[in-house]
Structures are given as structure tokens and as C-alpha cells.
Amino acid sequence: MRFIQRTRTSIAVLGLGVILVIGCGESAESSQGNQDPVAQESVMDSEGMSVTKRQSTLTKIFHAAPSPMETASLIKRSGAHFHSDALNPAGQSAQYTTSDRQAINLGIYGADLSYATIFEENSTSIDYLEAIQSLSTSLGVNDVLSDDVMGSVEENRNDRQALIRIVSETFYDLNERLKFNGQEDLAGLVVASGWIEGMYLATRHLDEAPVELKKRIAEQKLTLDDVMRLCRSYEQTAELTGLLNAMAPIEAAFAQVNTEEGESTTNREESGSFVIGGGPTFSADDATIQAIAASVASVRNACIQ
């Protein structure tokens, strides 16, 4: 009798275990083929491989968006100046007490940090790294900005390239850790708010903005598409859905950007790298750029409250 009970318990546990294993697997979309639910059952050895029990193939869909560092580089390349008054003050980090507000402002501060770092405002960068360390600790991912990393920041405080590398690695680790912890919704909030802040910084002081910057702002219609697609692939919590819904006016403003499709071409340089020419072109009149700036500012100002 006891043996039968134990057998039943073992079968039940095995079933629960398989469910748990599947539940803990990656949640990014997969499509095509018949996915075998036992896909995640086997464990990789220390070299990153193992024997699989899965027989049917699948197509894994990854989602990504340009990082705030790329947006900051774009702002600088266009000839715009650094505006410290546009940043969300680093000292406000303590006022964000719920995980969704912390994730949103982690994204905001990440974009502010990228902006300051690209413009070589290193002292400002360190203030924002400290604010980010505080928020990431509150979110339980404090190890991405460990004391060792902060020590490295101090040692390299005058080295722009080193700071850029540290900031990029920190946000990659943060994204990886949130996904690994099953907090993809928070990862989505960080990405979306980081994009919003990057656009907010790009659209400040438009009266003195170079023509080049306005063109680059119009092109962000595509990066907005990346961000929305990425965030919609995650589990839709009330907070994530709320932020995406709040971004609807931004989507509406970008819908006024004109797009002309063009044939892409490729050429190879002597260095071995490729140049992809042609492709789409984007244009927007001043009213559209102003509408984009206003809608971005509205969402961003709500985010930092």
C-alpha cells in the first residue's frame, strides 16, 4: 500500500516537474513545427550542450530594440548639445517604491546615463550609475552593479570608452538577469521607458536642433516599432499594458512620418565589412516633429512621477 502511494506520488511529482520545467523555460515566442514540451527537460553540461529529447524543430523568434546608447550616439552625431536640465534628477530614485515604477525609472535613468556618458559628462554619469545601483538593488538584481563594477567605474571615471563599455555591459546583464528571473515584464518596462527617455532627450530644444537631428527623429518610427513588438512579446501585466497604451499618442504622431521604400544594395569595402545602401527614407514636417516631441514629453513626464 505504501509502495503504491509512493509510486503515485512520484508520478504526480514527475508530471508537476515537467510542467515546472516548461514554465521556467524561455518565454520568447516560438513558431512553426510541433514543439515538444519536453524541450527544456534535459540539462546542458558545463560546455553549453547536452543530449536532447526534443525531436520536432521550431523557429525561435528573438526580439530586440536599439539601446539608449545608440540613441545617445545618434543625438551627439547630429551636432546637438548636452542639456543637463532635460535629465530626470538622479536624486529622485528613492521616490520610486513599487517594482513597476522602479523598472520604468531604471530605463529612464539608463537613457540619461547613456546620454551623459556619450557626451563625456563623466561626473553626471557616476551620479546616474549610483541611482541605477539603488533601483536595481530594490528590484533584486543588485549584482549587475556590484561593488566591483562601481570600483571599476571610479577607476575609469575619466575614460569615456571604459565607461561606455561598463554601462553597456551593465544593461545587457540587467536585461539577461530580469529575463532569467522570469521578470520579462519588468525587462519590457525598462526597454520601453529607456526608448521614451532617449526620444525625450533627442527632442529637447528643437528650436536649436540641427536639421540632421530632425531627420533622425523621423527615422525612429522604426525603433518605436521594434520596442512595441518586443514589449508585446512579453507577458502583458497591467503595468506593461498600461505603459504601452500610454504610448498610443506617440505611435499616432509617428504615423504622420512619410516613408518611401527603396531597393537595398550591398557593397563590400576593402576592410571586409559591408555597406548596405538604398532602403527606405523618412521625412517629417515641423508640425509632425513637434507632435512627436509633445507626445513623448507627456508620456515621459508621467513616467518620472
Position 271 contacts other proteins (CB under 8 A): yes
Q: Going residue by residue from 273 to 292, which x/- string records binding to other proteins, judged by CB under 8 A?
A: xxxxxxxxxx----------
Q: Which is nearer to other proteins, 212 or 298 (CB)?
A: 212
- What is the length of the chain? 305
The residue (of 96 and 171) whose beta carbon lies closer to other proteins is 171
Q: Is 64 in the site for other proteins (CB under 8 A)?
A: yes
**Which of 86, 222, 246, 297 touches other proteins by CB under 8 A?**
222
Rounded to a whole number of angstroms, the minimum distance from the CB of residue 32 to other proteins is 8
Site for other proteins in 160-199 (CB under 8 A): 164-165, 168-169, 171-172, 174-176, 179-180, 191, 194
Residue 16 or 94: the one with the smaller Cβ distance to other proteins is 16
Phi first, then psi: give them for residue 35, nearest 5 degrees. -75, 130
3-state secondary structure (DSSP) of residue 267:
strand
Long-range interactions of 298-301: CB distance < 8 A, separation 24+: 298/249, 299/196, 299/246, 299/247, 299/249, 299/250, 300/108, 300/196, 300/197, 300/199, 300/200
Closest approach of other proteins to the CB of residue 39, in Å:
8
CA distance 269 to 249: 42
60 binds other proteins (CB under 8 A): yes
* C-beta of 169 vs 208, nearer to other proteins: 169
Cβ distance to other proteins smaller for residue 42 or 99: 42
Is 24 in a helix, a strand, or coil?
coil
Quick one: which of 128, 216, 239, 284 contacts other proteins (CB under 8 A)? 216
DSSP H/E element including 282: strand 281-283
Residue 150 binds other proteins, judged by CB under 8 A? no
239-268 residues in contact with other proteins (CB under 8 A) are: 261-264, 266
Among 100, 130, 226, 251, interactor with other proteins by CB under 8 A = 226
**Per CB under 8 A, which of residues 91..130 are in contact with other proteins?**
none
Instruction: Check: CB of residue 118 under 8 Å from CB of residue 76.
Output: yes
Q: Which residues pair with 283 in a beta bridge?
A: 258
Whole-angstrom Cα distance, residue 13 to residue 32? Answer: 30
Does residue 38 belong to the site contacting other proteins (CB under 8 A)?
Answer: no
Instruction: Name the phi and psi angles at 142, rounded to 5.
Output: -65, -20
Contact partners, residue 197, CB within 8 Å, separation at least 6: 68, 88, 107, 108, 110, 111, 112, 300, 303
User: Looking at beta carbons only, is 18 or 246 nearer to other proteins?
Assistant: 18
Return d(Cα 166, Cα 132) in angstroms, integer: 13
Does residue 230 interact with other proteins by CB under 8 A?
A: yes
Q: Does residue 11 interact with other proteins by CB under 8 A?
A: no
User: Which CB atom, from 89 or from 156, has the smaller least distance to other proteins?
Assistant: 156
Minimal distance, residue 109 CB to other proteins, in Å = 14
Closest contact distance (angstroms) between CB of 151 and other proteins is 20
Count Cα atoms within 13 angstroms, Cβ side, for 31.
4
